Structure 1
């Protein structure tokens, strides 16, 4: 809203108090309508959920597509989504889901069981090399239509967390046979049941979502549209928020949060999250295939100082790759400590006692990642490695990770489901999926399978602890910090609150106008 238009609106309200939404004080009120502008560092790369691990894709697609179950905002479990209820069979070898009736896709097709069967079979297709999440659904044996509004999922083994995995964005529901299209078409043309539809997409610049007028839930969304503008530089995003060109600044630099909080027009908030920052190491690269060298790199990182210097207190030092917000997190994992002497000794004991030459890839324009890389560069050079830092755009970073074309990247992850096993699968049972670290340990894989089948929480947590210690010993990645989700928002934004698992539901968001 321009200043001139705001002044005219205030004058009208003063003379016509009978108009709905106006107040005698001239104050803005939160009411339906409005166009929300998001400034974020990177663009979406695809509109086909299972083919991406990039958060900008995930957060966008979760406004457009829906799943059988939905994550609760506090991360404590799931609630009904496109399924109204579900039950496990007595022998624990199948789950039955009952579908919500009257739901329509953006194309106008009415949701039925055929759509769910097609979508879940697509999500678990491990022969499709573009499907990066298929392994997550490996316990599923078959997906069957019972009737038009009922689907049964048969299992290879009991799988208690299945309802949680049905909230994974990769389990999004599309029309049967993609509505007569193919995967390539769907990557550029979404057709979901969510509160927003894809409008214009100027790749590399902006992506617009528009209100779904036929959304199944009454009264939402409130907003007419949401536009994600690509603004790679931290400082430029901050200036756009302060200048009114953006309503929300996603992931402002931690060191800028205090500056943002001093503005009376801006709300700078840190939300509870499962977010973990880490160095992703390519375990297949010569030199980095040596666990002693990787473990030395872990011991050489002073996590406490990084949290204080880089993250301005908006994070905690990481002790494991499992964040404290997830069940089974282990506080005391050996090798998360800062110990330069032990790090130097491990380098001497490694297959490369004279060190190796490595490059850390980081996103351009992101201040905290650059500072983090510089600190690691100095630390790793102090233990005898030669370290370079390479700045790349987000699209190139994503492509390099997918293709295994990297040595070390600064990365972060949030859990996509409420069950801890998903983060284990993504970060530790990776091989050529997940974060593409190339790590594979048969013991970790065995314990992960046992943990999923274990019904006793105490025994399950013991297995999780074993996994966390083994991953720390092997150091396929180097966990750095558990960071809160940071956002800068105009005070005209109402009802925006990111979920603990990292995403956000824009259907609850309103604008004052």
Structure 2
């Protein structure tokens, strides 16, 4: 599942002074939570953008996911060292021999933040709400196509009946957040709860100050604080989320002690010698290597726009982005050039698929093949239905820190007669334009996935309002292979199918696939202690605590 939810922006310490050469932290042995970590203190985290909504079902951006991860609980969770499933709301579970029935046994001591008990009714409601048209949560639909119905056995036991053997059935159902029926049961009323959030997790929502912050308080009644498998988790009394997008402002706030944790940050924040030295003793810049699937950046083309319907044009545009220069100039060469629709380090990314190189001459050749010429010696033109059209388009983006990337791209496009306007749009308005299909091109990013299912982003069935295939990409061969791969139980065979899908999508060039990071980069305050620089499968900031004086 892309970043567990939907889309992201281009778009996570005994402290010593930050050295000019940033430390590379590689997890060479198992990291362990500090089960005796002291409780208390405040963690102020910059999540770099404001959630458009906190609704547990309808919120569809990464910013909301950050908040959900503290406030909501799922039936099971992943161990950060082994990546095996471990109990969360469900203390145990069974799977039938044919894989078509999951039985979950809930803990007895779980309460929502308003004091009411979490029961099987809430599990049934949460899972089946995905299909309630009154909610319209279409971004979740591809992951729940295997769900038939949820049977309540007793107040603490549910049986999840499945209608197929989709390979991610257990992961999708087990990791889905459970929310209270008594709060969200009326879909129309609950849609208005954009600044409220009720869950059963380790933190409660205290307040949401639009444009400023979200404040969470530790839930002392959380079952996990008594469960052995969750010891060392959730040590801060208060979590504060800030929405500072401007990188320079965020750095100054961090230097002044007003931000304790900023993740993810761009590689140059950590790699630049002068910038690293300027951080002083109050901050540590971290470059860590772990097994977390890596994000990739992209520029996506709206297939509903005539300009981008010709594959030769899309490949030409990819040849006109000088990713090598951008990587060297702004990312210190520490990113890999992406080749296709999941991170290049994935087992589903064939090594035979190579990055499209910067090659203006090849781009000109492809544009001429597509019928574009430059009679005015300045802007490309083409005959379309008896009319002359010029090659002009607008690139929408929502993060000013990356505008310098698009400026380089714009200048290279201009040299061959293509005019690109760069337009910054605030995140909430950006999402509305995306869902309405009112854009030419967009700059965004997707998170990686261990078990890749391309359907939400690349299947034609997902090209609907609110769906993740917002560029309206369609390829019948890709659709057929996706449908086959989703129900292939043999991992080796499924991997082969997914590699074929990767090759077909990469060849269509629906995006300019830009970068995959080699490392994770983050900043943290000197008042924070950590059990390790990183766990095997994530940073593990949920296990941090306040340094004792």
Tell me, yes or no, whether TM beats 0.5: yes
What's the C-alpha RMSD, in Å, of the aligned pairs?
2.6
Residues 275, 184 of structure 1: CA spacing in aligned structure 2 closer, same or farther, 3 A cutoff? Answer: same
- CA distance in structure 2 between the aligned counterparts of 1:36 and 1:360, rounded to whole angstroms: 36
TM alignment of 1:468-507, pairs within 5 A: 468-483=502-517, 484-495=519-530, 507=542
Q: Deviations over 1:334-370 (max 9, x none)?
A: 563443333222222226553621111122532xx11
TM alignment of 1:77-92, pairs within 5 A: 77-92=84-99
| 2:119/2:156 contact within 8 Å kept | yes
| 2:287/2:522 contact within 8 Å kept | yes
Residues 413, 380 of structure 1: CA spacing in aligned structure 2 closer, same or farther, 3 A cutoff? Answer: same
1:195 is displaced (CA, Å) by: 0.9
- CA distance in structure 1 between the aligned counterparts of 2:369 and 2:208, rounded to whole angstroms: 53
- CA distance in structure 2 between the aligned counterparts of 1:146 and 1:481, rounded to whole angstroms: 48
1:211 is displaced (CA, Å) by: 0.7
Residues 140, 292 of structure 1: CA spacing in aligned structure 2 closer, same or farther, 3 A cutoff? Answer: farther
Helix, strand or coil for the counterpart of 2:224?
coil
Q: Which residue of structure 2 aligns with residue 389 of structure 1?
A: 422
Q: Deviations over 1:213-243 (max 9, x none)?
A: 1111125421111111222211010111112
1:398 is displaced (CA, Å) by: 2.3
Helix, strand or coil for the counterpart of 2:74?
coil
Runs of at least 5 residues in structure 2 that lack an aligned partner in the other structure:
1-35, 226-230, 374-380, 382-389
Runs of at least 5 residues in structure 1 that lack an aligned partner in the other structure:
1-28
- CA distance in structure 2 between the aligned counterparts of 1:75 and 1:324, rounded to whole angstroms: 22
- CA distance in structure 2 between the aligned counterparts of 1:180 and 1:469, rounded to whole angstroms: 43
1:322 is displaced (CA, Å) by: 0.9
In the alignment, structure 1 residue 315 sits paired with structure 2 residue 332: no
Residues 278, 65 of structure 1: CA spacing in aligned structure 2 closer, same or farther, 3 A cutoff? Answer: same
Residues 459, 130 of structure 1: CA spacing in aligned structure 2 closer, same or farther, 3 A cutoff? Answer: closer
Count of residues in Structure 1 that have an aligned counterpart in Structure 2: 477
| 1:196/1:212 contact within 8 Å kept | yes
Helix, strand or coil for the counterpart of 1:453?
coil
Residues 127, 242 of structure 1: CA spacing in aligned structure 2 closer, same or farther, 3 A cutoff? Answer: same
| 2:130/2:137 contact within 8 Å kept | no
In the alignment, structure 1 residue 198 sits paired with structure 2 residue 215: no
TM alignment of 1:184-263, pairs within 5 A: 184-218=191-225, 220-257=233-270, 258=272, 259=274, 261-262=276-277, 263=280
- CA distance in structure 2 between the aligned counterparts of 1:89 and 1:500, rounded to whole angstroms: 31
- TM-score, structure 2 length as denominator? 0.80
Q: Which residue of structure 2 aligns with residue 374 of structure 1?
A: 407
- CA distance in structure 1 between the aligned counterparts of 2:129 and 2:476, rounded to whole angstroms: 27
1:73 is displaced (CA, Å) by: 2.7
In the alignment, structure 1 residue 427 sits paired with structure 2 residue 427: no
- CA distance in structure 2 between the aligned counterparts of 1:186 and 1:75, rounded to whole angstroms: 36
The runs of 4+ residues in structure 1 deviating greater than 6 Å are 496-502
Q: Which residue of structure 1 aligns with residue 396 of structure 2?
A: 361
1:501 is displaced (CA, Å) by: 7.4
TM alignment of 1:399-414, pairs within 5 A: 399-414=432-447
Helix, strand or coil for the counterpart of 2:207?
strand
- CA distance in structure 2 between the aligned counterparts of 1:314 and 1:64, rounded to whole angstroms: 34
| 1:66/1:82 contact within 8 Å kept | yes
